[in-house]
Chains A and B, each alone.
Chain A
Amino acid sequence: MPWYLYIAIRHTFPKGKRWPFFTIMSVTGVVLGTMALVVVLSVFNGFGHAIREVVSETTGDLKVMNGLIFEDYEDKIETLKESPLVHSAAPSAFGVVVLQAGNRPIFPQIQGVDIEEEREIVPLDNYVYSGSLDEMDDDSILISSGIANTLRIRVGDEVDIYTPLMIEHLKKDEILLPRLMRVAGLFETGFAKIDENTIISTLRTMQDLYGLGEGVHAIKVKLNDGVDADSAATELQKSFERPFRVSTWLESNAEYLAIIQFEKRMMFFLLLIIVLVASFSIATSLFTSVVKKTREIGLFASMGATSRQITACFCLQGFSVGLVGTAIGYALSFAILSMRDTITNALFWIIGGKEQTMQFYFFSRLPVHYDTFDLVTIAILTVSVATLAGLVPSIKAGMLKPVEALRSE
Chain B
Amino acid sequence: MSEVAIAANAVAKSYKTGESNLEVLKHVDLSVNTGEFVSIQGESGCGKTTLLNVLAGIESPDSGYVSWRGSSIAKLGRNALALLRGGFLGIVFQSYYLVPEIDSLQNVLMSRRIAGGRIGSADIEEAKAMLEKVGLGDRCKQMPNTLSGGERQRVAIARALLTNPQVILADEPTGNLDETTGNRVMDLLQQLCGELGTALVLVTHNAEHAVRADRRLTLSQGSIH
Contact = CB atoms under 8 A, between A and B. Distances in A.
Interface string A385-409: 0000000000000000011001100
A307 interface: yes
Given A303-B86, A304-B83, A306-B83, A403 B114 contact: no
B79 A308 contact: yes
Nearest to A304: B86
A1 B110 CA distance: 12
A226 interface: no
B58 A301 contact: yes
Contacts of A2: 113, 117
Interface string A300-329: 111111111100000000000000000000
In this complex, which of A10, A11, A304 has the most chain B Cβ atoms within 10 angstroms of its Cβ? Answer: A304
Given A304-B87, A403-B53, A10 B111 contact: no
A17 interface: yes
In this complex, which of B86, B111, B114 has the most chain A Cβ atoms within 10 angstroms of its Cβ? Answer: B114
B99 A7 contact: yes
Interface string A16-36: 010000000000000000000
Contacts of B49: 407
A403 B111 contact: no
A295 B99 contact: no
Interface string B74-114: 00001100111111000101000101011100100011011
A305 B59 contact: no
Contacts of B59: 402-403
A2 B115 CA distance: 10
Given A306-B82, A306-B83, A308-B79, A300 B102 contact: no
Given A2-B117, A402-B58, A403-B59, A10 B79 contact: no
Contacts of A14: 101-102
Nearest to B85: A304
A6 interface: yes
B56 A17 contact: no
Contact of B78 (A7, A17, A307): A307
B58 A305 contact: no
A296 interface: yes
A10 B58 contact: no
Contacts of B84: 304
B101 to A, nearest CB: 4
Contact of A295 (B85, B97, B114, B119): B97
A129 interface: no
Nearest to B49: A407
B83 A11 contact: no
Interface in A273-288: none
Contacts of A1: 118-119
Nearest to A9: B101
A299 interface: yes
A299 B159 CA distance: 12
A348 interface: no
A361 interface: no
A240 interface: no
Given A304-B86, A304-B87, A304-B114, A406 B58 contact: yes
Instruction: Place the interface of chain A in its size category.
Output: 20 to 34
A303 B111 contact: yes
A406 B82 contact: no
Contact of B58 (A302, A307, A308): A302
A402 B53 CA distance: 9
Given A306-B79, A403-B58, A406-B93, A10 B85 contact: no
Contact of A305 (B82, B102, B106, B119): B82
A403 B117 CA distance: 24
Contacts of B93: 299, 406
Contact of B101 (A11, A300, A407): A11
A300 to B, nearest CB: 6
A305 B86 CA distance: 8
Contacts of B79: 306-308
Contacts of B103: 15
Contacts of A10: 99, 101-102, 106
Nearest to A310: B82
Contact of B82 (A295, A299, A301): A301
A305 B111 CA distance: 9
B90 to A, nearest CB: 8
A3 interface: yes
A302 B83 contact: no
A298 B58 CA distance: 9
Nearest to A301: B82
A3 B85 contact: no
Nearest to A296: B99
A6 B113 contact: yes
Nearest to B113: A3
Nearest to A300: B114
A285 to B, nearest CB: 16
Given A7-B99, A17-B101, A303 B58 contact: no
Contacts of A306: 78-79, 82-83
Nearest to A20: B101
A309 B113 CA distance: 12
Interface in A225-260: none
A7 B110 CA distance: 9
A1 to B, nearest CB: 8
11 contacts: A7-B102, A299-B99, A301-B82, A303-B85, A304-B82, A304-B83, A304-B87, A305-B82, A306-B78, A306-B83, A406-B58
Interface of B: 49, 53, 56, 58-59, 78-79, 82-87, 91, 93, 97, 99, 101-103, 106, 110-111, 113-115, 117-119, 143
Give the 10 A-B residue pairs with the shortest CB-CB distance, closest first.
A304-B86, A3-B113, A306-B79, A14-B101, A299-B97, A10-B101, A303-B114, A402-B58, A304-B85, A403-B59
